[in-house]
């Protein structure tokens, strides 16, 4: 059990995306990124806080992610491109961008892949693009599968379940759909489960699902992530570490 808890820690994107975020609250978030067992994979924040993260975690091996077109996915192509470029310029090493999933569900099959392609161009080769599909909005899993394939073909480095800002976030059913799309695409694309994953037991379910579909070795920080902050405490508790207080702005 402890081995999987340590692995889950290393897959964690420690996240705070709250309207109440401040330099002080993000510094507190960053103070939790290096645990007695391992560092988390990344911290994920709003773009203005990238500088705070870089200063707090310099040379710690933690990546810096920020969100674009967030959370609605409806700010438009040019805004998404501009926000992505800003994140890159500020020193972000990962961009988590929301696609226009509502337009996709309504029948527009061009806006989402166009946005992914353009944002990946803005990222270049050194910055990873994690594409948020808002999987909980999909009643039709075939449509979610098709959007997953479209995002992968357009250059997504990861496909990600959720913003954590909707009524339904990650589920095992939608995760399975997205993982099967990655498998079916035959392309190098990772998966990020975010929203509502708060316990070690839940994390293990997602890790086991990914291992069953993609192989055990695939479950590593280069191809698998959790978007969460609440998860941190439970993982540390499983490992016998004193409980910390999770930031309220996380997933």
pLDDT band at 232 (very low <50, low <70, confident <90, very high): very high
Instruction: From 200, 196, 192, 146, select the one nearest 171 (Cα to Cα).
Output: 196
The number of distinct structural domains making up the chain is 1
Distance CA 31, CA 49 (A): 14
Query: Could you tell me what percent of the chain has a pLDDT over 70?
Result: 96
The arithmetic mean of pLDDT across residues 90-97, rounded, is 98
Across the range 79-99, mean pLDDT stands at 98
Question: Does 6 fall in a domain?
Answer: no
The pLDDT of residue 210: 98
Note whether residue 143 is domain-resident: yes
The pLDDT, as a whole number, for residue 228 is 84
Q: Which domain holds residue 199?
A: 61-227
Q: What confidence tens digit (pLDDT) does each residue in 148-174 have?
A: 999 999 999 999 999 999 999 999 999
Pairing state of beta strands 42-45 and 12-15?
Answer: parallel
pLDDT at position 250: 53
Structure tokens at 149: 């394939």
Q: Is 85 exposed, middle or buried (0-12, 13-18, 19+ CB in 10 A)?
A: middle
Distance of CA 216 to the CA centre of its chain: 20
Give yes or no for a contact between 122 and 81, defined as CB atoms under 8 angstroms apart: yes
Q: Which residue has the higher pLDDT, 45 or 230?
A: 45
Task: Look up tokens 């759909």; give the residue.
Answer: 177
Q: Is there a catalytic annotation at residue 96? A: yes
Read off the pLDDT band of 247 (50, 70, 90): very low
Of 21, 160, 234, 247, which residue is the catalytic one? Answer: 160
The Cα 134–Cα 105 span in angstroms is 11
List, in sequence order, every residue forming a beta bridge with 213; answer none if it has no partner: none
**CATH (domain of 186):** 3.20.20.70
Q: Evaluate whether residue 235 is within a structural domain.
A: no
pLDDT at 135 over 80: yes
In a domain, 244, yes or no: no
Share of the chain above pLDDT 90, in %: 94
Q: Are 98 and 71 contacting, i.e. CB atoms less than 8 angstroms apart?
A: yes
At 1 the pLDDT is 75
Instruction: Report the distance separating Cα 10 and Cα 75, nearest Å.
Output: 32
Give CA 121 to chain center in angstroms: 19
Residue 242, pLDDT > 90, answer no
Instruction: With beta carbons less than 8 A apart as the criterion, state whether 170 and 162 touch.
Output: yes
41 within some domain:
no
Q: What is the mean pLDDT of residues 96-118?
A: 98
Q: Is 208 a catalytic residue?
A: no
Residue of 96, 233, 234, 247 with catalytic role: 96
Mean pLDDT for 47-68 is: 98
- Mean per-residue pLDDT of the chain: 95
Distances (CA, A) of 39 to 7, 9, 124: 10, 7, 26
Q: Is residue 133 part of a domain?
A: yes
Q: What is the pLDDT of residue 160?
A: 98
Does residue 169 lie in a domain region?
A: yes
CA distances from 95 to 38, 63, 193, 200 (A): 23, 11, 15, 26
In a domain, 105, yes or no: yes
Known active-site residue 160: yes
Total-model pTM: 0.95
The catalytically annotated residue of 192, 233, 234, 247 is 192
């Amino acid at each position: 059990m402890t081995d999987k808890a340590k692995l889950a820690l290393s897959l964690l994107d420690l996240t705070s995306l709250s309207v109440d975020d401040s330099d002080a609250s993000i510094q507190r978030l960053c103070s939790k990124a290096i645990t007695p067992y391992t560092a988390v994979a990344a911290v994920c924040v709003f773009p203005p806080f990238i500088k705070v993260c870089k200063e707090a975690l310099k040379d710690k091996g933690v990546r810096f992610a920020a969100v674009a077109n967030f959370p609605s996915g409806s700010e438009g192509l040019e805004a998404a491109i501009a926000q992505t470029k800003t994140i890159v310029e500020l020193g972000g090493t990962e961009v988590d961008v929301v696609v226009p999933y509502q337009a996709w569900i309504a029948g527009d099959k061009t806006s989402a892949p166009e946005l992914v392609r353009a944002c990946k161009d803005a990222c270049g080769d050194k910055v990873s693009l994690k594409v948020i599909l808002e999987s909980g909005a999909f009643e039709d899993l075939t449509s979610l599968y098709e959007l997953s394939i479209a995002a992968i073909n357009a250059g997504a480095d990861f496909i990600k379940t959720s913003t954590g800002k909707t009524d339904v976030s990650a589920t095992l059913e939608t995760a399975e759909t997205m993982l099967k799309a990655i498998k079916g695409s035959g392309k190098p694309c990772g998966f990020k489960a975010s929203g509502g994953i708060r316990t070690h037991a839940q994390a293990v379910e997602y890790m086991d699902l990914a291992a069953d579909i993609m192989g055990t070795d695939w479950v590593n920080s280069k191809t698998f992530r959790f978007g969460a902050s609440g998860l941190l405490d439970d993982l540390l508790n499983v490992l016998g570490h004193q409980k910390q207080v999770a930031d309220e702005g996380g997933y």
